C-alpha cells in the first residue's frame, strides 16, 4: 500500500470543523509533516461516499451528534467498518454519557474525545490520535510487499498493496488496475497468479487482490472491490471466492 493516507473530519458546525482542522494541521507541522490531506464534511452521506471508495488506511474524526441526531457518528462508524476494518476512528462529542454506548457499536474506536474540556486537554487528546495515525503510516511503510512482473524486455516492480486486480484484454494484453492508475502490458495471468498468495483467480480473465474484495452478490455472482468496481466471478472459482466472506 502506498503511504498516501488522509484525515477526515465530520462536523456539522463549520466553526468547530475549521478549528479542529487548524489544530490537526498545527500538530502535523510541529512534527515536520506538511503533505497530509485533510477532508472536511458536514454531511455523513458525503463522507461515506468517499470512504467506501478509498482503499487506503485513514483516520476519521467523527462528531457524534449530527443535525440533531444524537448518535449519528456511531452509525457512520458502523458503515465505515463494513468495508474498512483498519482505519482509525475517533469520536468527538459533548455527550460524555455516550462513552459506554460507543462500545456497543463494536467499531474499535481509537478514542472518545470530549469537546467540553479545557483546550489544552482537548489538544493533548487530538495529539495522541494524530501520533497514532503517523505511527500507522510508518508501520505501512515497513510492511510494503513487492512483486516483480518479468516482461520480455523489462520488468515491473509493484507494491502488492497498491494493486486491486489484473484483467486480460485483447491480444494477450493484461490490465493492472490499482488506486488511481491502470497499466497495460503483454503477459499471462497464470504467471501473475503465482507471484503472491493474496492474488487469487475469480474468472478466467481476472485475478484480484483478495484484501480489496468488499462484497459478493450471491445472486449475480458479481464481486465488488473496495473502489466500487464490480468484477464477475465464474462458477469455477465461485466457491473459493465465497470462502473469503465466510472466514
Average pLDDT over residues 153-172: 87
User: Is residue 182 one of the residues assigned to a domain?
Assistant: yes
Q: Which position has the higher pLDDT, 136 or 180?
A: 136
Entry field: residues in the chain: 247
Q: What is the DSSP letter of 8?
A: E
E-state strands within 133-205: 146-150, 155-159, 163-168, 173-178, 181-186, 199-203
Highest mean pLDDT among 9-18, 153-162, 178-187: 9-18
Read off the C-alpha cell for 60.
476519521
Whether residues 13 and 131 fall in one domain: yes
Cα(206)–Cα(73) distance, integer angstroms: 37
Mean pLDDT of the chain: 88
- If we measure between CA atoms, which residue out of 172, 178, 164 comes closest to residue 190? 172
User: Is residue 247 one of the residues assigned to a domain?
Assistant: no
Q: Which position has the higher pLDDT, 71 or 216?
A: 216
pLDDT-wise least confident of 142-151, 181-190, 218-227: 142-151
* CATH number of domain containing 68: 3.40.50.2300
Last residue of a domain, one of 140, 163, 183: 140
pLDDT-wise least confident of 52-66, 181-195, 212-226: 52-66
Domain limits for position 160: 145-242
pTM score, whole prediction? 0.59
Q: How far is CA 243 from CA 137, 140, 152, in A?
A: 30, 27, 36
Are 154 and 191 in contact by the 8 Å Cβ rule? The answer is no
Cα(93)–Cα(108) distance, integer angstroms: 17
Q: How far is CA 118 from CA 10, 18, 110, 123, in A?
A: 21, 18, 21, 9
Q: Domain count of the chain?
A: 2
Amino acid at each position: 500500500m502506498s503511504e498516501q493516507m488522509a484525515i477526515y473530519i465530520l462536523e456539522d458546525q463549520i466553526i468547530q470543523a475549521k478549528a479542529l482542522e487548524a489544530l490537526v494541521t498545527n500538530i502535523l507541522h510541529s512534527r515536520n509533516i506538511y503533505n497530509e490531506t485533510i477532508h472536511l464534511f458536514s454531511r455523513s452521506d458525503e463522507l461515506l461516499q468517499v470512504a467506501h471508495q478509498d482503499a487506503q488506511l485513514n483516520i476519521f474524526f467523527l462528531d457524534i451528534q449530527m443535525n440533531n441526531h444524537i448518535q449519528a457518528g456511531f452509525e457512520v462508524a458502523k458503515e465505515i467498518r463494513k468495508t474498512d476494518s483498519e482505519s482509525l476512528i475517533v469520536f468527538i462529542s459533548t455527550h460524555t454519557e455516550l462513552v459506554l454506548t460507543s462500545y456497543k457499536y463494536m467499531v474499535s474506536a481509537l478514542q472518545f474525545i470530549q469537546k467540553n474540556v479545557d483546550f489544552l486537554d482537548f489538544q493533548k487528546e487530538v495529539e495522541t490520535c494524530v501520533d497514532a495515525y503517523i505511527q500507522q503510516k510508518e508501520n505501512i511503510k515497513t510492511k510494503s510487499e513487492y512483486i516483480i512482473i518479468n516482461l520480455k524486455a523489462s520488468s515491473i516492480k509493484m507494491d502488492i498493496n497498491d494493486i486491486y486486480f489484473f484483467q486480460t484484454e485483447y491480444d494477450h494484453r493484461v490490465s493492472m488496475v490499482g488506486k488511481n492508475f491502470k497499466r497495460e502490458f503483454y503477459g499471462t495471468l497464470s504467471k501473475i497468479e503465482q507471484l503472491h498468495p493474496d492474488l487469487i483467480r475469480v474468472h478466467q480473465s481476472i485475478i484480484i487482490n483478495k484484501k480489496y474484495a468488499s462484497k459478493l452478490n450471491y445472486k449475480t455472482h458479481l464481486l465488488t472491490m473496495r473502489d466500487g468496481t464490480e468484477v464477475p466471478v465464474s462458477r469455477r472459482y465461485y466457491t473459493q471466492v465465497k470462502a473469503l466472506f465466510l472466514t
